Each structure stands twice: as C-alpha cells, then as structure tokens.
C-alpha cells in the first residue's frame, strides 16, 4: 500500500514537471506582461501620435534661418530614426548637405557623423565607413570627437555582431571596436550618457556585474524623462547585464525587459530589441499565444522600419522561431506520450492500491475474528483462574485442618514440619503456580519467546529448561508485558528478593542487541 502511494506521488510530480519551464518573476511581472499586450493592442494610437509629432515638425520647415532648417531636418531625422529608416536617412542627408553648403565646418562634421551613425545602424556599412572616413580628423574637438569615436565604435560593433560577417573578420572588427570605445572613454565626460553606457558594458564584459549595474543606476538617474527611448534603452541594458553577460535571469531583470518594451511601443519605436527578447522568453515558457502576438508585432514593425540590417537579422530570427515551434510541438508530443504512459502506470498502481486495501480489509476481518477468539479465551482463563483460586482455598482448608489436628493431638513436630517455608509443600505449590501461569501466558502469546530472542544477541538467546515453560527472565518479561513493572511487586509474585529481580533485569538488558527503548516498545506491542 505504501509503495503504491509513493509511486502515485512520483507520477503526479512528473506530470507537474511536464508543464514547462517557469519564467523568473516578481509580484509585478504578470501585470507587466498584461500591460505590454495591452499597449500592443493600442499600437495604432501610438503610431498616430508619432506621425502627428513629425507632421508638426515638417510644418515648421524651411525655418527662418539656415541653422533653423538644419535643426529641423535633424529633429525630423531623429524622430524617424526608430520609426522609418529610409525617412530618417533622407532628412539626415538633407541636414548634412545643407550644413556643408553653409560652409560651417563644425555643423557639417556633426551632421556627417550622425549620418554615418544612422547608416551603420541600418546595415549600410560601406556607406557608413565612407561617410565617417570623410570627416577631417584635425578639426575634431569636444563633443565632435566624442561623437566621432562613438560612431566608429558603433560601426565596428555592428560589423562584428552581424551574422553575415565571417568569423575571421569579426575578430578584427571586435579589436577595432575596443580601440575606439577606449578612445571614447578617454575623452568623454564621465557623466555623459556615451561614457556611462560604454563603461557599463565594459565592466559587464569583464564580469564586474555589480559595477556595471552601478553605472547603469547613475545613467538612469540622469535621464529625466522616464518614458523616453533613452530610458527604455537603459532598462534594456540593465536586463542585458543579468541575462547576456551574467547568464543569470532574475525576476527583476525580466521586469526591466518588459518595462523597456512597453516604453518602446508607447514611443512607436519600430526597432525594438527588447520585444524580441520578450518573445523568446515567453516562447521558452510555453506562453505561445502571448509570444505569437509579440512576434507578429515585431516582424511587422521590421517591415515598416525598413532597416537592411534588422530585416536580415529578422529573417534569421524567423527561421529560429520556426525551428523552435517545430521543436516545441515535438516536445509536447513527447510530453503527451509520457503523460499517457504515466497515467497508465497510475491506473495500474491504483488497481494495486485497491487490491491492497481489500487485502487490508480481509486482514481486519481476521483480526476481528482473532479478537473474538481472544475474548473467548479470556473468558475461559477467568474460569481457570477461578478454579485455581477455589482449589487453593480447598487446599488451604485441608492444610489448616492438618495443622489444627496435629496441634490438638500434641504433634508439635509434625505441625512445625508442615509450616516450614522450605518444605516440599511450599515448593510444590510454587512450581504448580509458575507452571499454570507459564502455560496460560504462552497460550495467549505463543510467539513471546521467539520475539524476545530476536531482540537478543545471538549468543545470548534464552532457552528454557525441559522441565519449565518460561525461565525466570522470561517470567519477569511476561509480568512486565501484563503491566506489572515495579520490582517489589514482581519479587512478591515470583517469591524471590527484589535484588534478584534487579539482577535478572540487568542481565537481560546486557543481552539486548537493540536499544532498550525499542525492546520495550516491541514487548508492549506484542
């Protein structure tokens, strides 16, 4: 019966384990997932809001001055930067061309660097390299130098992380990235977003995760708008420290990722790296419907965004997701087969348990019959005890008559002989008493001697003499079994000294092969 219960419990445990992996979470995670799905339902509203903002900027063109016009082109390009790659490039090229025509080197260099940065982000590496290479190095200073190193570092970062770039070139690009990143960190303001993000990633790559998080905290504290794309990027980087670098996904990291994705959707960002991570995590957690909804939005946003790099990466990701879906279906089929097998085994164990229960029921009936039999035996022993007492009363009357007759006739010596404690009469009576007790006890507890011996050391087992049923040690144990545990009372019943009882109990204790407490428990339950 116990085995059946254990197997059933194990089966239920296996079934519960087949429900899939559990995404690390906090008290907020479930609400954040629901909020993300809700903002996805309202994406048209956010898209319309974004279009209205851009149209408002366009209406301000051409501006009162050349500087105003360049600034407007730049603002429109940056508004399109995460919304429409082609539109962003068109307006940034207009800003760069107008700045070049203005003859102002600093303004021309600034727009050229920004144009190279956008080209790099969208996967136009050759054009980005040509554009950034055209910037005169000798005229770089201040923020222009910061932006130059950042644009260079970003170009090589995009190159070495591109799936289509050969591994041999990837190593070269990584080295160049490290050089320009370090150059940026040497000249940038230590409280600038560029510096803080660069040092944060450097510490994360070096395995200094707490230090990386410290820089992330500083970066988050200086971003005033907590609903901006910059803040969403900061939250995503916080998630990346735990998930991509530390390889330790926590509930807080998942919350950071979800918050980042929510802000990106609210800003009508069509280039949302965080969404892809959310889809992957939900898909791995077998939340297929939510993952599909997010995946559909992500790939439709890629088409709207029009980035060459993102489309290529998206195709690769599409293949991975399809492969993942196929594997998930296969996994579920395996789990279904395993579940059916376990259910079949559980049914067998339930049948076995029912058989055991029936066996126990029959055993209870047997015990009931034994109890009834014991009750009859007890009644018969009451009769035997009554007969023994009656016999002893008759013998006592005969004994008293003999003594009285001897004394009346003056046979003093005969009277003294009859009342001598060591006389044969007393010994015979004692033997008959013990014999009757032993026979009655063993009849009630037939396994008593065998059970006692199993608790003793092999060389110390008790073997009664041929002329006796129980030895003195066994007789003491028999009285203890019947609830008589006081040494004085036992000594009185066995017609011996208390010291003798104590010695016999000590000897018996020394013979035990098991702890005394366990032995006493066995004797009481016998």
Are the CB atoms for 126 and 159 separated by under 8 Å? no
> Within 241-287, where are the H helices?
251-266, 273-284
Which residues are bridge partners to 512 per DSSP?
A: 456
Q: Which of these three, 270, 291, 307, is where a domain ends?
A: 270
Phi, psi of 370 (to 5 degrees): -65, -40
Collapsed DSSP state (helix, strand, coil) of residue 456: strand
Residue 319 falls within a domain, yes or no? no
Give the number of other CB atoms < 10 A from CB of residue 266: 18
Q: Which of these three, 220, 255, 270, is where a domain ends?
A: 270
Alpha carbons 8 and 220: distance in angstroms, whole number: 52
Residue 352 falls within a domain, yes or no? no
Residue 433 falls within a domain, yes or no? yes
Residue 521 falls within a domain, yes or no? yes
Residue 278 neighbours by CB under 8 Å, 6+ apart? 36, 257, 258, 261, 294
Q: Tell me the angle at which helices 472-481 and 487-494 cross, rounded to the nearest 10 degrees.
A: 120
Token duo for residue 267 = 């800003």
Token duo for residue 34 = 């629901």
Residue range(s) defining the domain that contains residue 485: 420-525
> Within 103-190, where are the H helices?
105-121, 125-133, 143-160, 167-187
**Does residue 62 have a cis peptide bond before it, meaning omega lies within 30 degrees of 0?**
yes
Give the number of other CB atoms < 10 A from CB of residue 460: 13
Residue 222 falls within a domain, yes or no? yes
Are the CB atoms for 272 and 42 separated by under 8 Å? no
Collapsed DSSP state (helix, strand, coil) of residue 390: helix
Which residues are bridge partners to 456 per DSSP?
A: 512
Residue 69 falls within a domain, yes or no? yes
Token duo for residue 368 = 């009931």
Q: Which of these three, 270, 290, 312, is where a domain ends?
A: 270
Q: What does the pLDDT profile of the chain (526 residues) look like in tens digits?
A: 444 443 444 444 444 444 445 778 899 988 998 898 898 888 889 889 989 999 998 888 887 788 889 889 989 998 888 888 888 899 999 999 998 888 888 889 999 999 999 998 888 889 999 999 999 988 888 889 999 999 999 999 888 887 677 777 888 988 999 999 999 899 999 999 989 999 999 999 999 999 999 999 999 999 999 999 899 999 999 999 999 999 998 999 999 999 998 998 888 887 666 777 787 787 667 676 777 777 777 777 767 776 655 655 555 555 565 566 666 667 777 878 888 888 888 888 889 888 888 888 888 887 777 666 566 555 555 555 555 556 666 666 776 787 777 777 777 777 666 666 555 555 677 777 788 788 888 887 888 888 888 889 988 888 888 878 888 888 888 888 888 888 888 888 888 888 998 888 888 888 888 998 888 888 877 6
Residue 23 neighbours by CB under 8 Å, 6+ apart? 29, 254, 281, 282, 284, 285, 287
Dihedral sign, Cα of residue 350, residue 355, residue 361, residue 364: negative
What is the CATH number for 191?
Answer: 1.25.40.10
Collapsed DSSP state (helix, strand, coil) of residue 410: coil
Alpha-carbon distance values, 124 to 173, 174, 309, 347, 515 (Å): 15, 18, 8, 64, 84
Alpha carbons 115 and 274: distance in angstroms, whole number: 24
Residue 233 neighbours by CB under 8 Å, 6+ apart? 260
> Within 42-81, where are the H helices?
43-58, 66-80
Alpha carbons 264 and 121: distance in angstroms, whole number: 17
Please give the span between the terminal C-alpha atoms of the chain, in angstroms, as a whole number: 23
Q: The whole model's pTM is what? A: 0.56
Alpha carbons 85 and 311: distance in angstroms, whole number: 11
Collapsed DSSP state (helix, strand, coil) of residue 216: helix
DSSP string across 21-40: ------TTHHHHHHHHHHHH
Residue 412 falls within a domain, yes or no? no
What domain count does the chain have? 2
Residue 454 falls within a domain, yes or no? yes
Question: Can you give the three-state secondary structure of 149-166, one letter per residue?
Answer: HHHHHHHHHHHHCCCCCC
- How many DSSP H helices and E strands does the chain contain? 23, 0
């Amino acid at each position: 019966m116990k085995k059946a219960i254990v197997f059933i419990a194990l089966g239920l445990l296996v079934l519960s384990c087949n429900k899939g992996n559990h995404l690390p979470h906090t008290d907020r995670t479930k609400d954040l997932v629901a909020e993300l799905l809700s903002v996805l339902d309202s994406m048209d509203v956010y898209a319309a809001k974004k279009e209205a903002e851009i149209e408002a900027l366009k209406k301000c063109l051409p501006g009162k001055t050349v500087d105003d016009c360049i600034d407007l082109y730049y603002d429109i390009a940056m508004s399109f930067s995460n919304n429409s790659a082609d539109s962003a490039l068109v307006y940034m090229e207009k800003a760069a061309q107008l700045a070049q025509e203005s003859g102002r080197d600093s303004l021309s260099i600034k727009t050229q660097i920004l144009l190279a940065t956008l080209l790099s982000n969208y996967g136009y590496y050759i054009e980005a390299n040509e554009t950034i290479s055209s910037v005169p190095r000798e005229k770089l200073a201040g923020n222009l130098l910061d932006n130059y190193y950042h644009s260079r570092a970003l170009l090589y970062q995009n190159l070495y992380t591109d799936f289509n770039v050969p591994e041999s070139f990837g190593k070269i690009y990584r080295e160049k990235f490290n050089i320009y990143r370090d150059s940026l960190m040497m000249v940038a303001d230590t409280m600038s977003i560029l510096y803080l993000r660069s040092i944060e990633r450097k510490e994360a790559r070096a395995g200094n995760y707490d230090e990386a998080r410290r820089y992330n905290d500083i970066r988050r504290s200086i971003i005033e708008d907590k609903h901006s794309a910059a803040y969403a990027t900061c939250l995503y980087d916080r998630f990346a420290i735990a998930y991509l670098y530390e390889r330790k996904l926590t509930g807080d990291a998942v919350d950071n990722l979800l918050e980042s994705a929510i802000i990106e959707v609210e800003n009508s960002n069509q280039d949302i790296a965080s969404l892809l991570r959310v889809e992957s995590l939900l898909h791995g957690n077998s939340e297929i419907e939510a993952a599909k909804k997010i995946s559909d939005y992500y790939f439709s946003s890629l088409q709207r965004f029009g980035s060459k790099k993102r489309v290529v990466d998206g195709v690769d990701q599409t293949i991975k997701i399809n492969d993942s879906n196929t594997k998930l279906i296969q996994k579920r089929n395996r789990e279904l087969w395993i579940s059916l097998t376990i259910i079949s085994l559980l049914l067998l164990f339930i049948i076995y348990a029912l058989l055991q229960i029936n066996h126990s029921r029959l055993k209870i009936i047997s015990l009931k019959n034994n109890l009834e039999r014991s009750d009859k035996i007890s009644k018969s022993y009451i009769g035997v005890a009554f007969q023994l007492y009656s016999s002893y009363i008759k013998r006592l009357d005969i004994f008293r008559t003999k003594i009285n007759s001897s004394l009346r006739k003056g046979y003093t010596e005969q009277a003294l002989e009859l009342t001598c404690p060591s006389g044969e009469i007393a010994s015979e009576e004692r033997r008959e008493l013990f014999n009757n007790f032993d026979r009655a006890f063993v009849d009630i507890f037939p396994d008593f001697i065998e059970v006692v011996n199993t608790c003793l050391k092999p060389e110390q087992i008790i073997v009664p003499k041929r002329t006796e049923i129980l030895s003195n040690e066994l007789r003491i144990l028999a009285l203890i079994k019947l609830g008589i545990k006081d040494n004085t009372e036992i000594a009185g019943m066995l017609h011996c000294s208390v010291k003798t009882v104590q010695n016999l109990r000590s000897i018996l204790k020394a013979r035990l092969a098991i702890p005394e407490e366990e032995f006493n428990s066995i004797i009481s339950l016998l």
